[in-house]
Structure 1
């Protein structure tokens, strides 16, 4: 049997208005002049209506059984229910069955929803046949109560109201589930893109440096003694960054700092580890938020990586990081020429895309292109938010 796994506290918060209304209708049943034989069955059906969201189809089966048993008891006792509403069912029973029909139509699979509605209609017809007819002493002698067709029409209206309510909420639930799935898919896509940018900007930066220094050591064996320590350091830093990314995915380092408090030192460290001829200009009169500093470091890293991979014959790379007019200005420019051969490690074409996405996510402006006098430059303006 299906279950929505709705907890008892959640069920109470959701169903207490219905419980109060049904309790009031059951209490009204005690006010009649014909006895209380119908009360136990009405109480059971009302309780099932309140619990129906947990197991809708089971609630239909049990409620139908309760109505049938109550009808047999009234038949054996020869007592008509007090002020029946439709087919011998009292007001509380009708309201409870309407609620159960709405819930089963909303939550149950289509086949069970149809079976449940048919069962409720059948048990209502059975009650009309089995239960003794009610006659009020206040009625005129020539009046025998509502006829078959008025009760049938009224019952059909109430059934249609229950079905419409269930179908409406079923459609709303389906729309809500679709929206949630779309939001989850969008969040997953955003996380994948962020991870792709991190892998490309950080890991590729270190790996490219390792390959370049290894090639230099191959070309000039005498330089191996200088290149090997740089390769080892770059490899250790790449492993550290990879562990940090894995820890972030596992939520074990979600609160780990992304940059130190001194962005200028961080930028100098990135420049020194790049092993390139860099002219650095840093003008940071005020501290930069760590989250923004991390993005600045990634932009500088990726720009230097692109310069190493694509700028052939570059004699110098200018790196400038400054703060003015409430924004961090980043400029990385080289004087090299585009390589005719494929760069070290190939080029996936995602570097500029990742940098542009990173800047735009922070509400900044990004541009990259060839310089008028030769070479390539990358510019980014990132607003400072505190």
Structure 2
């Protein structure tokens, strides 16, 4: 048996218009002089099944068909008519409306085999009400010699109502499919954006520290006497890499963490100085930063400086100077990192996945800025970025 697992609160929000309409029809029939109280239980059961059918549409359709037949048998036994407003065959207005709703919901939610079985069961149950129930028209309109709609008139009316019900169900089924497709696309886009953000974070932060560890380890191997000076730097870089990894794992697990990166404090100038000092390169630093740079934007500035210095260390040889400039002008943070080295002939430390420049460009463009990277005018490599300060 199928179940949509629709919650009761969601069901109430979706079905209250149908419930009110069926209550109105049933109440109008109950207050009529032509209505038998023997008809009321069947109408209430079929209406309740129609309202609750989104939870189990196929089961509700079979139960409603059974209820229609059972109600017809009861009315035949007690010799009471169903009335007053007979639409098709022997069903009342409330029963007919509930049956149409059941067909529409069944077509909307159930699989094709269940739709066929459920619709056939409801159509047969409605058809059996005509021979089973005493004729409302013969009993109350015998003096005008009117026996009610002819067989073919009822078939035509029933066919029109059935087509309307099936068409309504197909329309909502298409809407549900379109909504599900849109939702899947949004989820996929959100997952892709999250993966890209994590990839940038891994490349910009963790790879930066690991590259430093490898470079200093290679320096210690080349100059054993410098090992005592290099080992503390390696240990510090390793600890910072572990801290960054723990933060990323906490983000993946959805945990709230106060272990923010040390390069993301409220003082952007000090943060830039710390990144430059940790790079171990001959950097000439120029800062012109007011205190109004938002921390979220400052973090992106730090990542740009950090990744640019990492690229210099990995890809450039014979570097004697790296100019790093971070300044604010006209509400825009300008970042320039330029070196005077030449392209390395050997493969860079840790290989080159080619994601550094891509990640920097994506980070800048997401913030509405501009990014460029390429050979400098006097040689070397130059990275430029302009990030607007959001008001």
Q: Relative to 1, partners in 2 of residues 1:52 and 1:312: Cα closer, same or farther, differing over 3 Å?
A: same
For 2:56 and 2:147, how far apart are their aligned partners in 1? 40
- CA shift, 1:151, in A, is 1.1
- Secondary structure class of the residue paired with 1:240: helix
- CA shift, 1:244, in A, is 0.8
Match of 1:47 in 2: 48
Deviations 1:213-233 (A, max 9, x none): 111111111111111111111
- CA shift, 1:32, in A, is 3.3
Counterpart of 2:90 (choices 70, 88, 91) is: 88
Match of 2:73 in 1: 72
Match of 1:370 in 2: 375
Match of 1:311 in 2: 316
In structure 2, stretches of 5+ residues that fail to align are: none
Q: Does 1:262 find its partner at 2:253?
A: no
Structure 1 contact 98–162 (Cα < 8 Å) conserved = yes
Q: Does 1:220 find its partner at 2:220?
A: no
- CA shift, 1:277, in A, is 0.6
Match of 2:135 in 1: 133
Structure 1 contact 262–287 (Cα < 8 Å) conserved = no
Structure 2 contact 29–35 (Cα < 8 Å) conserved = no
Match of 1:381 in 2: 386
- CA shift, 1:35, in A, is 2.6
- Secondary structure class of the residue paired with 2:136: coil
Deviations 1:241-280 (A, max 9, x none): 1111111111213676561010000000000011111001
- Secondary structure class of the residue paired with 1:333: strand
Counterpart mapping for 1:241-256 below 5 A: 241-253=244-256
Structure 1 contact 333–376 (Cα < 8 Å) conserved = yes
- CA shift, 1:80, in A, is 1.9
Q: Relative to 1, partners in 2 of residues 1:151 and 1:254: Cα closer, same or farther, differing over 3 Å?
A: farther
For 2:33 and 2:87, how far apart are their aligned partners in 1? 13
Q: Does 1:235 find its partner at 2:238?
A: yes
Structure 1 contact 197–354 (Cα < 8 Å) conserved = yes
Number of equivalent positions: 386
Structure 2 contact 267–291 (Cα < 8 Å) conserved = no
Q: Does 1:191 find its partner at 2:194?
A: yes
Match of 1:205 in 2: 208
- Secondary structure class of the residue paired with 1:54: coil
Counterpart of 2:351 (choices 346, 361, 377) is: 346
Structure 2 contact 216–230 (Cα < 8 Å) conserved = yes
For 1:160 and 1:124, how far apart are their aligned partners in 2? 15
Deviations 1:331-385 (A, max 9, x none): 0000000111111111111100100000000000000000121100000000001
RMSD, aligned CA: 1.4
For 2:51 and 2:159, how far apart are their aligned partners in 1? 23
Q: Relative to 1, partners in 2 of residues 1:166 and 1:255: Cα closer, same or farther, differing over 3 Å?
A: farther
Deviations 1:147-201 (A, max 9, x none): 1111110111111110000010001001100110111111111111111111011
Q: Does 1:38 find its partner at 2:39?
A: yes
Match of 2:20 in 1: 20
For 2:284 and 2:343, how far apart are their aligned partners in 1? 20
Q: Does 1:360 find its partner at 2:365?
A: yes
Match of 2:149 in 1: 146
For 1:54 and 1:88, how far apart are their aligned partners in 2? 28
- Secondary structure class of the residue paired with 1:279: strand
Question: What TM-score, normalized to structure 2?
Answer: 0.96
Question: What TM-score, normalized to structure 1?
Answer: 0.97
For 1:99 and 1:290, how far apart are their aligned partners in 2? 56
- Secondary structure class of the residue paired with 2:326: strand
For 2:258 and 2:77, how far apart are their aligned partners in 1? 72
Deviations 1:71-92 (A, max 9, x none): 1011111222123221110111
Q: Relative to 1, partners in 2 of residues 1:7 and 1:32: Cα closer, same or farther, differing over 3 Å?
A: same
Q: Relative to 1, partners in 2 of residues 1:22 and 1:144: Cα closer, same or farther, differing over 3 Å?
A: same
- Secondary structure class of the residue paired with 1:167: helix
